[in-house]
Structure 1
Amino acid sequence: MTDRPTSNLTETSLPTQWHTLSQAEIERALQTGMAGLQEDESRRRLARFGPNRLTPPKRRGPLRRLLAQFHNILLYVMLAAAIITAFLGHWIDTGVLFAAVVINAIIGFIQEGKAESALDAIRAMLSPHATVIRGGTRREIDAAGLVPGDLVVLASGDRVPADLRLVAVKELRVEEAALTGESMPVEKNTAPVPADAPLGDRYGMAYSGTLVVYGQASGIVVTTGAATELGKINQMLSGIQSLATPLLRQVDRFGRMLALAILGVSAATFVLGSWWRGHAPAEMFMMVVALAASAIPEGLPAIMTVTLALGVQRMARHHAIIRRLPAVEALGSVTVICSDKTGTLTRNEMTAQRMVCAGHVFDIGGVGYAPVGDCSIGGHAIDPGHYPALAMAIRAGVLCNDARLREEDGLWRVEGDPTEGALLVLGGKLGGTQHLDDKLWPRLDSIPFESQHRFMATYHRDDRGDPWIFVKGAPERILDMCGKQWNHDDDDPLDVDYWRRMATDTAAQGLRLLAVACKRSAPAGERLTFADMESGYTLLALVGIIDPPREEAMRAVRECHRAGIRVKMITGDHPETARAIGAQLSIGVGKPVITGAEVAIMDDAALRRVAMEVDIFARASPEHKLRLVQALQADGQVVAMTGDGVNDAPALKRADVGVAMGMKGTEAAKEAADMVLADDNFATIATAVREGRAVYDNLKKFILFMLPTNGGEALVVIAAILFELALPLTAAQVLWINMVTSSTLGLALAFEPAEHDVMNRRPRPPGEALLSGFFVWRVLMVSFLMMTGALGLFLWELDSGTSIESARTMAVNAVVMAEMFYLLNSRFILAPVISRGGLTGNRYILLAIAACLPLQIAYTHAPIMQAIFDSTDLSLLEWGKVLAAGLLVFCVAELEKFLIRRTGLASRLSHSRLSHM
């Protein structure tokens, strides 16, 4: 520790680009040294900088959060219906409606609480303990007590407790995937890097929350708590407001318009009846109440919740776990999917795909860690045993290796470095089990891999006792050690140009390269030393390794493209690797790859343009991912964002649908997401999109069913008032109709299966109104038909001398019968329903009709119902008239569909997406 005063050390006076500074500059800036801080100085700095923890944001209290759940137009509609039923004395209906309001609010309250735990999950990533050197003494402390200037010691298995500038490194490799998206553990060193180096290329830094997987190091703490890179993500996440889904935005607009329309029509009816027709205000008020009761779609919130819940169940069967109910439908309206690469589009299992020997290039089949695959040249399978250089390169990769390949419960996994694991898998594929048995060629000594030397070497004796030295490492380093290359029959002089050309070609395909060589001799001394590494080696092969894309992800991307959904890859990995994977997935083919550094210098307008034109973004930081999502949303896109790391959490929360990985994802990502993929499979997203589109279809079908039925009832009441007729339906009877049809008939549409062409449609425009012009026409037409049937039957019966109670009973049954038949019409918007599939394809519709019929029979003939609703018995002839009123609606609706299809309007409606609403 220096003796210089430290009172001028403040957070604002410290540098921000620690990765650009040397060790001496770091020590001067933080006034520390290799003996660490003294205890009294660490206490002063702790008071100045605060504890090394992430401060939780201010949150609303439980009561405020609960009350906020009631601020929803759908709940206002339900409350209005509850007030009307209470005014009419229907206390059971009132209780049911109020209970539905409370239950919806409680569900929202619970879901919001779960979403906020994303911040807690990030805070939990901080290491609870740290090993520091203070006053020259090594000790373990609570990580919350770390301060800038502390000297921290890291070992394999440690979680980095704060942002560190490394000052001493021994074979340090850090797993940074959760923070940067880098698929491989990063080899660290102590050298400064340029100021504009991306987060994943700052090799002299170790960041809070990342994991040491190999080696040892010491580093000086440069930032703690909220100032760390992890803390910045936490601040970004806490400042992001989740957006309402397209459906909720549509329903909110629809609910406001409908509420205004109901109030306007009710007020106009009251004024016309009281002033124009001279009815008593009290009588008119009851009529207006009946009108409002008939028009309010009190079944909409319930059917919406049920439909979404059924979608959740169907998605769960396909390994998509929905955490927020509206996300079900939002998936169906997605126009862009922004996907992380590692572990989502790819397997997160390094795989050798190419081997270059002297004169031959071999393609390796199989993916993942399962040792199953073949070897081919130009598409023709070959036997590796016929190619001595290939066979020896495979053996060298297995023997010069510290990883382990194990099978557990039918699943293969690698213990150790993933790249070395890929060589073991290669040996299992092409060399058989004998290559995996190092007892046949026992290891006598080794030189471990070190970043400054960039190779690993092992000394063996074969089954005849002959000595061999194998070496693997960076191609340029191994080439310097080799003077020969192993050809088919014998060693030939090394063709350096050939190997450099093949290395460039392989790297251009996004593969990471290893070179493998051998020397048929023993070490100069008893032990293997660096002097044995200088020359005399024979180059065996170049090995191209990559984390391959999932086969099912390839199919899913094609399905998304067919459905009109853009798929973009946003990864922290290298541009060339991202480009190669994108080409295999048909993402971004023929387009440039944009890096995070390029994104950082773009203004919002330029980024909006680039975000739509480019499909692959590499070396992307959390800020870049968030900006990209926001840029796409600003362009009117509905964005789904996938990810598994804490670095993805802000973008997951901001996206319209955040999708986290369940198996390999961090808790922070899962808590910030709307949906979790239990199988970490991108293909599951395509399945979920299909279910989401089906859910939206069913909601639209329900609205198309509900509005005409409510509209028909309302028109009956309005017509009676305007033409000074006796009221065909009382308020109580209107509520009965709504209760029966909403509870039984409308619910059946939630079970409609997805239509066969659901994934062949373009995504619906995000700003699309819930009701199109075509839908308005259909609603008015069917409403008028229902009004004609019910009011016409009512007037006919009155004209025939029937009592008003019997006429009203027939009117009520006519409305319900018409709704039963129209339910069948509503299964398809334009397609005919007069077929076996159309009439019986949804058994829940048949069950709903079967349940509704006994209720209407009880309403008509049960004495207790007659006492409550003033209904009367009907004869068979009268029931026949009721059936005819229902058939009128069914037949005219099917005739309208036929005319639309016959005149060619169907194709135009389909082109404008109306038929898919």
Structure 2
Amino acid sequence: MSVKNFNIKGLTDEEVVTSKMKYGSNVIKHKRQSVFFDALKKFATDPMIILLFVASFLYFINGKTVDGIFLALAIVLVSSISMYQESRSRNALEKLKRFTQPNCKVVRNGKITEIKSEDLVIDDSLIVEEGTLIMADGTIIHSNDFSVNEAILTGESFPVYKEQSATDNMIFQGTTVATGLAIAMVAAIGGETKLGKIGQGLEAINEEKTPLENQISNFVKKMALVGVFVFLIVWSINYFQTHLLFDSLLKSLTLAMSILPEEIPVAFATFMALGAWRMMQMGIVVKQMKTVETLGSATVICVDKTGTITENKMSLVSLFTLKSLKINAAVDILNSDEKELIQMAMWASEPIPFDPMEVALHDAYAKTFSDDERKHYSMVHEYPLSGKPPMMTHIFKDNNANNRIIAAKGAPEAIINLCGLTEKEKSQIVEAIKMMASEGYRILAVAKSDFKGDNYPKTQQEFSFAFKGLVAFYDPPKENIQQVLQHFYKAGINVKIITGDNVTTTMTIAKQIGFKGFERSITGDELMKLSDEELKKMVQETYIFSRMFPEAKLRIIEALKSNNEIVAMTGDGVNDGPALKASHIGIAMGKKGTEIAKQTASLILIDDDLSKMVDAVAMGRKIYANLKKAIQFIISIHIPIILIVFIPLALGWVYPNIFSPIHIIFLELIMGPTCSIVYENEPIETNAMLQKPRLFTSTFFNWKELSTSIIQGLFITIGVLLVYQVAIHQNFNESITRTMVFSALITANIFLTLMNRSFYYSIITTMKYKNDLVLIIIGLTTIITGLLIYVEPLTKFFEFERLNTSQLYLSVGIGFLSVIWYELIKLYKRKYQNLFSTALAH
């Protein structure tokens, strides 16, 4: 029904511009802390920066001005890299935040238009409907059975009914529409709204840290404490040996700096934020960072049928009436009963249709009747969609209030029971339903009531209805849905359909698309009768859940979770809210999803395309795998740095202080970009979506995850200390020994970067991966290291000495061997897996 029937024209384009100039935009401006001061605060509390400050200060006191200046410059460089990474993360999240701001519908120039909520202006005619988040304060000028949830303002969760003629005819920003539809004249926007004045904007809500984020934070804190403890021990050893206070402090600070893995939290923040940004570019909006962590672990995805598996493009295809006892195509020549069926189905729909089925019914009515009666009638009462199975009833009166229409539509089971039908008639209707459903059609029953008087019953089920017939719609499966399902199955993810439609229709569509387990189904009523233990077993074995309602959906999700499944669920309606919130990954549809569903969900598919969920799972697996590679790299390379500083000192070797703070900070500057920039840019491995979902373990830092890193780190340590001992055995001086050790460590660092790009595929295979940053970072590292060793001023400053060919080959060769051995482990993994796969195949 056009808004013209309500005599609502809305603002013109010129009036919108004038209103915006006079009253401003619909934006709540929060007092934000300066980004500069935030950065300064982090800068002042960063453990690595503090250590560098202390070391620089000690160098100046000791008279080593050049070393002190170098460390001061290092402070600038380290903080610049850190701020750059944080800036990338912050910018990605800000863009993501702006992108997730909801739209709203308004009447402008006599037409319904969808605009950004920030473009709403004073005196706009704002349309709000079931599931909508209200974006401004306004006065109701038209409403149909309209109620809102004002819990954000009042704390009361029950819906408040409102209408134009009531005393309480205002709507408020931040509240949500529980039922019905209303058009309101915008009275306040931005900071002038009731919500804006009390400062409860949604932006004020802080997202809690994720489990992995907390684990990383705790790990870094523990390592910092270890660093303090080791610092005191090393300082004590040095001081009692030399009695030089400042020199001992410098040497102990070197070890403390080597222990602190400050790259880990930077890597985590970078991976999560940029991962979310990359997904947004793919058409997937991630609202919560924890979703990125969880995606790669999803074991079950529960999907709706309509709009997710199907196109959500309803076309009216068939009609059935008791008089003809035939199922006729909606495009055929219609008899009077079939015309009345279409007419009543239209009156049972919303006056301004937004549901695809209701749009189809309004279109069918317009084609069937040349004399459009809709302009002569207005809705006087509405019973919203409710009941199990659901139905809805609308009451219209003409402009003279002489004629009244009471029409209902809903699930056939709901309507049939209210129409006083004989058993024979019920049997005939059920047979027609089976035939329609076997074609994959979605079916609604339609009824009419001749209720007299104005004292309407409390519930629609109390009316006495006359059965008018069945209307059937066809919503074809999406073209790509079969391929999407195969991707999920190959990735080890089970798929279950949870729908409000009947079982026959759902099974028919499921069979058409190659859905596994389509023959195993249960209804919502049957499900609710099961005990918790019975339900836990049933949800594992059942794949189609039909005639579902909110309580049943929630029980399914909870039962799957109790079976240790990681559950993703798609939803679009108000009633999906509880289940979306309960699932590990709540997925709302960007186009047909209600704002309540979008607010509740943790992820939004912008184009309602389930194939994007395959991309999201792949991205989740990629991000987690790459983050794990980065952290394992950090741990592996920190182990030799720590031990190279500690072992010669503890064991009293010839050159006990082989590295100073300037060497450690140089290594840190190399490692930081490697883990945060190179690994974040790594492509997904080819076998990532052919593996079962990874276990969502309670901690990232368990022995299984760390063992490889520790062993790699120990092998590098052995190799580098071997270089140290060979240099001493050949009577090389301290400078040459230091240069050889440093060269071996840099070589190991380079090849570890290449090695850890995959813990399964060979280094030759991973060299083909598209990641230009690998060669750039390795090239820069090699060039800078060459300059340090062979350019005199730099060599002298770092207390190095030029290496001859044999010394360089020895250092590089041992550094290479200390890492490349892991290729044998990867070869074993590939061969073992191939043998296992072959055995399974036979």
TM interval, shorter chain, is 0.5 to 0.7
Contact 2:622 2:685 in 1 (8 A): yes
Residue 692 of structure 1 is matched in structure 2 by 620
Unaligned runs of 5+ in 2: 1-28, 60-67, 105-116, 126-135, 151-158, 165-173, 184-192, 195-199, 347-351, 384-391, 396-406, 417-423, 448-464
Q: Please tell me whether residue 512 in structure 1 is matched to residue 443 in structure 2.
A: yes
Residue 265 of structure 2 is matched in structure 1 by 301
Alignment of 1:547-586 (within 5 A): 550-553=478-481, 555-567=483-495, 573=500, 583=510
Deviations 1:199-227 (A, max 9, x none): xxxxxxxx7563169xxxxxxxxxxx99x
**Distance in structure 2 (CA, Å) of the matches to 1:498 and 1:894:** 71
Contact 2:740 2:807 in 1 (8 A): yes
Task: Kindly state the Cα deviation for residue 858 of structure 1 after the two structures are TM-superposed.
Answer: 1.8
**Distance in structure 2 (CA, Å) of the matches to 1:656 and 1:301:** 24
Residue 820 of structure 2 is matched in structure 1 by 891
Q: Please tell me whether residue 247 in structure 1 is matched to residue 178 in structure 2.
A: no
Alignment of 1:376-775 (within 5 A): 391-392=332-333, 418-419=356-357, 421-422=359-360, 498-503=428-433, 506=436, 511-513=442-444, 543-545=471-473, 550-553=478-481, 555-567=483-495, 573=500, 583=510, 590-594=520-524, 598=528, 616=545, 620-621=549-550, 638-645=566-573, 656-667=584-595, 669-671=597-599, 673-725=601-653, 726=655, 727-744=657-674, 747-775=677-705
Residue 487 of structure 1 is matched in structure 2 by none
Contact 1:158 1:211 in 2 (8 A): yes
Contact 2:442 2:472 in 1 (8 A): yes
Q: Which has the larger radius of gyration?
A: 1
Change (3 A) 1:792 1:627: same
What letter corresponds to residue 791 of structure 2 in structure 1? A
**Distance in structure 1 (CA, Å) of the matches to 2:679 and 2:138:** 59
Change (3 A) 1:745 1:758: closer
Give 3-state SS (helix, strand or coil) of 1:334's partner. coil
Deviations 1:223-265 (A, max 9, x none): xx99xxxxxxxx9x99999564453244245435544554555
Residue 15 of structure 1 is matched in structure 2 by none
Alignment of 1:147-162 (within 5 A): 155=143
1:852 corresponds, among 781, 785, 793, to 781
- Taking structure 2 as the reference length, the TM-score comes to 0.64
What letter corresponds to residue 776 of structure 2 in structure 1? L
Give 3-state SS (helix, strand or coil) of 2:802's partner. coil
Give 3-state SS (helix, strand or coil) of 1:210's partner. strand
Give 3-state SS (helix, strand or coil) of 1:211's partner. strand
2:180 corresponds, among 210, 213, 216, to 210
Contact 1:347 1:548 in 2 (8 A): yes
Change (3 A) 1:602 1:347: farther
* Worse overlay, 634-643 or 105-114: 105-114
Alignment of 1:317-328 (within 5 A): 317-325=281-289, 327-328=291-292
Task: Kindly state the Cα deviation for residue 817 of structure 1 after the two structures are TM-superposed.
Answer: 1.0
The percentage of aligned residue pairs carrying the same residue is: 23
Contact 1:241 1:654 in 2 (8 A): no
Change (3 A) 1:783 1:513: closer
What letter corresponds to residue 881 of structure 1 in structure 2? L
**Distance in structure 2 (CA, Å) of the matches to 1:731 and 1:507:** 75
Task: Kindly state the Cα deviation for residue 818 of structure 1 after the two structures are TM-superposed.
Answer: 1.4
Contact 2:501 2:546 in 1 (8 A): no
**Distance in structure 1 (CA, Å) of the matches to 2:688 and 2:637:** 27
**Distance in structure 2 (CA, Å) of the matches to 1:332 and 1:390:** 48
Contact 2:751 2:820 in 1 (8 A): no
**Distance in structure 2 (CA, Å) of the matches to 1:905 and 1:388:** 56
Task: Kindly state the Cα deviation for residue 294 of structure 1 after the two structures are TM-superposed.
Answer: 2.0
**Distance in structure 2 (CA, Å) of the matches to 1:596 and 1:91:** 71
Contact 2:437 2:508 in 1 (8 A): no
Give 3-state SS (helix, strand or coil) of 2:298's partner. coil
Deviations 1:493-531 (A, max 9, x none): x99955542235546978314689xxxxxxxxxxxxxxx
Task: Kindly state the Cα deviation for residue 816 of structure 1 after the two structures are TM-superposed.
Answer: 0.6
Contact 1:240 1:653 in 2 (8 A): no
Residue 21 of structure 1 is matched in structure 2 by none
Change (3 A) 1:153 1:733: closer
**Distance in structure 1 (CA, Å) of the matches to 2:124 and 2:148:** 8
RMSD: 6.4
Residue 294 of structure 2 is matched in structure 1 by 330
1:92 corresponds, among 47, 63, 73, to 73
Task: Kindly state the Cα deviation for residue 770 of structure 1 after the two structures are TM-superposed.
Answer: 2.3
What letter corresponds to residue 332 of structure 2 in structure 1? A
What letter corresponds to residue 733 of structure 1 in structure 2? H
What letter corresponds to residue 419 of structure 1 in structure 2? M
- Taking structure 1 as the reference length, the TM-score comes to 0.59
Change (3 A) 1:896 1:448: same
Task: Kindly state the Cα deviation for residue 884 of structure 1 after the two structures are TM-superposed.
Answer: 1.0
Deviations 1:768-799 (A, max 9, x none): 54245455443233223322333332333344
**Distance in structure 1 (CA, Å) of the matches to 2:99 and 2:771:** 40
Deviations 1:262-295 (A, max 9, x none): 45555555566667x7886655443332222223
Unaligned runs of 5+ in 1: 1-58, 132-142, 147-151, 169-177, 181-206, 214-224, 227-234, 363-386, 406-413, 428-434, 457-470, 480-493, 517-533, 912-917
Deviations 1:364-408 (A, max 9, x none): xxxxxxxxxxxxxxxxxxxxxxx9998335999799868999xxx
1:789 corresponds, among 704, 713, 719, to 719
Task: Kindly state the Cα deviation for residue 766 of structure 1 after the two structures are TM-superposed.
Answer: 1.9
Change (3 A) 1:393 1:772: farther
Residue 878 of structure 1 is matched in structure 2 by 807
Contact 2:572 2:597 in 1 (8 A): yes
Give 3-state SS (helix, strand or coil) of 1:660's partner. strand
Query: How many residues matched?
Result: 693
Give 3-state SS (helix, strand or coil) of 2:713's partner. helix
Give 3-state SS (helix, strand or coil) of 1:392's partner. coil
**Distance in structure 1 (CA, Å) of the matches to 2:504 and 2:203:** 32
Give 3-state SS (helix, strand or coil) of 2:588's partner. strand
Change (3 A) 1:712 1:129: same
Deviations 1:788-828 (A, max 9, x none): 33333233334434332232122212111111122221122
